[in-house]
């Protein structure tokens, strides 16, 4: 304990320099932790976009492509699937529920998803969290629309506002379905998933507006009323009675003869998709590593300078009979103390900033992240950093010893 006190007293004696070192390391470690958290949270954000759905069924093609357009609303579907296929799925014993989705239209840059009201009960994200409405409720009629949190925020929508949707994904005035205005009946709570960036209407509404639409322009005077049965949808989210039935359903899908379809497991596809982005993860890791390396180099430079600046102090310690290794240990302890304080301070600051910005980032940018408590691996890395920083003075102190008159 006395030795810790001695190291602390020495640090306090040089408190201006110690505080600068502490701040420099806090910033370094804070940056590293932040980059690390961005990496971890990006992965979590990405992989938790959908949950509770056991399978996504769509037209045969690449599984990543199906995942991208059905969940992330990115890219174009290769082909639609027939409504007959949706019904065939619903009749399977393995299947508990099926929620079809139809894509193709947009509203001011945001995707419009045609689906059924059940979508709002079945779609889950982030380990089984259900969708909630900030205000209002699911659509009940062909003129109702539900908007995601980001859509409402960016476009300044509230309940009762009217909007029209655009045919296709390009915002061309001529392609506007302005003959079919929608009224907002619900605004979803932020989820930090692609759900926030979409509008949801009934499949019936989509059918109606497209039934009046031929060859990319509206047929004047045409109108369709009453119930309908959609001919095609883009994909279907499927929930199973038991997850173990997934292989049985996969076999059925592979042998399905009506049209070429595929079923993907969202978790597996998400993992594969993330692996395709492994380079960005590695880049983030590299940046984080370089940040730490910079911090350690600064500390090493300071240690080397200290060996010269603190000659008198070391001489006084030697006069008491203190052995060289003990003096080295004292200096190592000082480094370990600074790095430990800097690590704890960084964790605290990153957690505090995370806590303060958590809601704001979700509502402003639609990015969800959990409170930034370091992972076990990150704690171990911090421990390693403390050990490494503690060992830094050994080399300059040893070099100093060789010049010591004492030898």
Partner 1 sequence: MNVLEVEQLRHYWDDGVEVLDIESLVLAQGEKLLLTGASGSGKSTLLNIIAGLLAPNSGKVFFQGELTSGLAPSKRDALRASQMGIIYQQLNLLPYLNALDNVRTTLAVSGRRESQTPETLLSNLGIDAALQRKPVTKLSLGQKQRVAIARALIAQPSLILADEPTASLDKHNRDNFMQLLMAQLADSDSALLMVSHDPAIAEMGFDRVVSLAEVNRVLA
Site of interaction with partner 1 (CB under 8 A): 2-3, 5-6, 9-10, 12-13, 313, 316-326, 405-407
Is the Cβ of residue 22 or residue 372 nearer to partner 1 in the bound state? 22
H or E segment and range at residue 86: helix 83-90
Q: CA 302, 307, 293: angle at the middle one, nearest 5?
A: 30
Is the Cβ of residue 259 or residue 313 nearer to partner 1 in the bound state? 313
> CB of residue 390 vs partner 1: minimum separation in angstroms?
20
> CB of residue 12 vs partner 1: minimum separation in angstroms?
7
In the beta sheet, which residues pair with residue 57? Answer: 236, 263
Q: How many whole angstroms separate alpha carbon 236 and alpha carbon 59?
A: 10
Burial of residue 296 (number of CB atoms within 10 Å: 0-12, 13-18, 19+): middle
Per-residue CA distances from 188 to 83, 191, 237, 265 (Å): 27, 8, 19, 26
Q: Parallel, antiparallel, or unpaired: how do β-strands 217-218 and 95-107 relate?
A: unpaired
> CB of residue 406 vs partner 1: minimum separation in angstroms?
5
> CB of residue 19 vs partner 1: minimum separation in angstroms?
15
> CB of residue 5 vs partner 1: minimum separation in angstroms?
7
- Show the DSSP H helices in 229-277 as ranges: 246-254, 266-276
Is the Cβ of residue 218 or residue 330 nearer to partner 1 in the bound state? 330
Is the Cβ of residue 126 or residue 318 nearer to partner 1 in the bound state? 318
CB 58 within 8 Å of CB 236: yes
Q: Give the three-state DSSP class for 144.
A: strand
Give the pair of three-digit tokens for residue 51: 């949950």
Give the pair of three-digit tokens for residue 80: 């639609």
Give the pair of three-digit tokens for residue 5: 């006190």
Is the Cβ of residue 223 or residue 320 nearer to partner 1 in the bound state? 320
> CB of residue 311 vs partner 1: minimum separation in angstroms?
13
Is the Cβ of residue 196 or residue 334 nearer to partner 1 in the bound state? 334
> CB of residue 312 vs partner 1: minimum separation in angstroms?
9
CB 182 within 8 Å of CB 201: yes
> CB of residue 337 vs partner 1: minimum separation in angstroms?
14
Checking phi first, is residue 219 left (phi over 0); if not, alpha (psi -120 to 50) or beta? beta
Is the Cβ of residue 6 or residue 296 nearer to partner 1 in the bound state? 6
In the beta sheet, which residues pair with residue 125? Answer: 129
Is the Cβ of residue 14 or residue 358 nearer to partner 1 in the bound state? 14
């Amino acid at each position: 304990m006395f030795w810790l006190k001695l190291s602390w007293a020495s640090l306090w004696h040089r408190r201006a320099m110690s505080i600068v070192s502490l701040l420099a390391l806090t910033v370094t470690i804070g940056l590293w932790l932040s980059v690390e958290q961005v990496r971890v949270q990006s992965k979590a954000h990405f992989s938790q976009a959908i949950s509770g759905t056991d399978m996504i069924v769509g037209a045969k093609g690449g599984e990543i492509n199906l995942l991208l357009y059905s969940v992330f609303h990115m890219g174009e579907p290769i082909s639609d699937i027939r409504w007959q296929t949706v019904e065939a799925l619903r009749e399977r014993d393995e299947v508990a529920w099926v929620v079809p989705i139809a894509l193709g239209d947009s509203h001011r840059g945001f995707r419009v998803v045609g689906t059924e009201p059940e979508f709002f009960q079945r779609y889950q994200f982030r380990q089984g969290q259900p969708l909630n409405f900030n205000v209002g409720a699911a659509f009940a009629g062909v003129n109702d629309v539900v908007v995601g949190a980001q859509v409402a925020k960016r476009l300044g929508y509230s309940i009762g506002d009217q909007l029209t949707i655009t045919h296709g994904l390009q915002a061309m005035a001529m392609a506007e379905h302005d003959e079919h205005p929608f009224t907002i009946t619900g605004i979803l709570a932020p989820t930090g998933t692609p759900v926030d960036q979409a509008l949801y209407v009934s499949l019936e509404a989509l059918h109606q507006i497209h039934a009046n639409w031929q060859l990319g322009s509206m047929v004047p005077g045409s109108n369709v009323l009453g119930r309908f049965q959609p001919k095609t949808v883009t994909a279907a989210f499927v929930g199973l009675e038991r997850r173990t039935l997934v292989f049985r359903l996969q076999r059925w899908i592979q042998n399905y003869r009506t049209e070429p379809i595929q079923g993907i497991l969202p978790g597996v596809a998400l993992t594969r998709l993330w692996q395709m982005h492994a380079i960005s993860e590695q880049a983030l890791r590299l940046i984080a590593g370089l940040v730490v390396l910079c911090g350690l180099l600064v500390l090493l430079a300071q240690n080397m300078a200290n060996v010269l600046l603190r000659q008198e102090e070391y001489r006084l310690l030697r006069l008491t009979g203190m052995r060289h290794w003990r003096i080295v240990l004292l200096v190592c302890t000082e480094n370990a103390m600074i790095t430990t304080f800097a690590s704890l301070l960084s964790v605290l600051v990153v957690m505090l900033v995370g806590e303060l910005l958590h809601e704001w980032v979700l509502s402003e940018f639609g990015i969800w992240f959990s409170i930034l408590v370091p992972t076990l691996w990150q704690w171990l890395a911090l421990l390693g950093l403390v050990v490494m920083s503690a060992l830094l003075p050994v080399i300059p102190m040893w070099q100093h010893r060789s010049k010591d008159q004492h030898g």
